Amino acid sequence: MRVYLDHNATSPLRPAVREAMLAAMAVGGNASSIHAEGRAARKVLDQSRAALAVALGCLPPMIAFTAGGSEANALALRAAGVERLLVQATAHPSVIENARASGKAVELLPVDGHGRLDLAALKRLLPGPKALVSLILANNETGVIQPVPDVVALARASGALVHVDAVQALGKRALNFGLLGCDLLTVAAHKAGGPVGVGALVIRDGLVLSPLIAGGGQELRRRAGTENLAAIAGFAALVQEPLIDTCDLNDRLEAALAGLPVFGDGVERLCTTTCVALPGVAAETLLMQLDLEGIAVSAGSACSSGKVGKSHVLAAMGIDPELARSAVRLSLGWNSTDADITRFITVWQAIVARHQPKAA
């Protein structure tokens, strides 16, 4: 039996999600049509949007469904009416690359050695033409949580907008758009047991965005295209599931890593995510050896076409490049078990012992 410890990349579908998607697939109409079949599809869409709104603490019309988190991030960064983008240096690649492709002035916001945003640097950079500040609530590589309330307070004082990428946080900690106080919030389903290919951007009431995809009136003319009804229904089912709680499992896992560098250790992190290095051993080697033993993990972000490359997150944290090349990410999910952790520890300790002379 294989052990899956790569939930931050994609988590297997939860049973309730699968059931909701299958039920939605039986609804054959287009939600934009006015006949009975279309109205049936519209009912599923409206009910799903309402469920997501309850879970996220916003009004249903504030939700624009997209094809995933990357598209929602692109919409937030490219469509907001600002002149500058102030982007956290450890943001997801879909944020950094869309910012650079937006044609707007871009500044990367530095982080400290734990990966937390440098608030003093943000305060220095905020004055000037209207800006949008983009930060990632929970980092996809390290799990480090950002001080969103502090960022919002600084931005408000300067008249800046705030975008929060909460893709990794959804389903793992409570999210409330109103309490966060941001203007734009990105979420997606597949990191917590929902379907791949669906996300959403929550847009503050009154904030107008220019659509990236034109050609239809869907999503209040913010995103043209027939909605992916089955995926949206699965998304709605996901947010009605209990929050993932793997803290005890993660504590046991990290206890077995004692003496090794865990990046972001010492600050608040998701209790699903551990980024650890075995000094002197390349991440590719660790991935292959774990995979041969039936254990799936990853190195950094999984959004790099299957390649193991340099982590911009660890680089921004000031981690020595040689050490960063030895980093792997272990991420737990809704169906992780104590047996999974036991198996991982057994295999990991054998790998460490095998490489101990080299690592030393």
Catalytic annotation, residues = 303
Distance between CA atoms of 240 and 15, rounded to whole angstroms? Answer: 12
Cβ 32 vs Cβ 38: under 8 Å: yes
In 10 A of CB 96, how many CB atoms? Answer: 21
Distance between CA atoms of 296 and 288, rounded to whole angstroms? Answer: 9
Nearest to 151 by CA among 165, 161, 166: 161
Distance between CA atoms of 125 and 130, rounded to whole angstroms? Answer: 11
What SS3 class is residue 198?
coil
Cβ 209 vs Cβ 234: under 8 Å: no
Distance between CA atoms of 157 and 33, rounded to whole angstroms? Answer: 45
Per DSSP, the chain holds a count of helices (H) and strands (E) of 14, 11
Distance between CA atoms of 201 and 223, rounded to whole angstroms? Answer: 10
Bridge partners (DSSP) of residue 106 are: 85
Token code pair at residue 335: 């169906």
Token code pair at residue 110: 């530095």
Distance between CA atoms of 46 and 163, rounded to whole angstroms? Answer: 25
Cα separations in angstroms, 136 against 120, 207, 295: 18, 20, 28
Cβ 85 vs Cβ 104: under 8 Å: yes
Distance between CA atoms of 85 and 358, rounded to whole angstroms? Answer: 44
Distance between CA atoms of 192 and 173, rounded to whole angstroms? Answer: 11
Token code pair at residue 185: 């919030």
Distance between CA atoms of 50 and 44, rounded to whole angstroms? Answer: 10
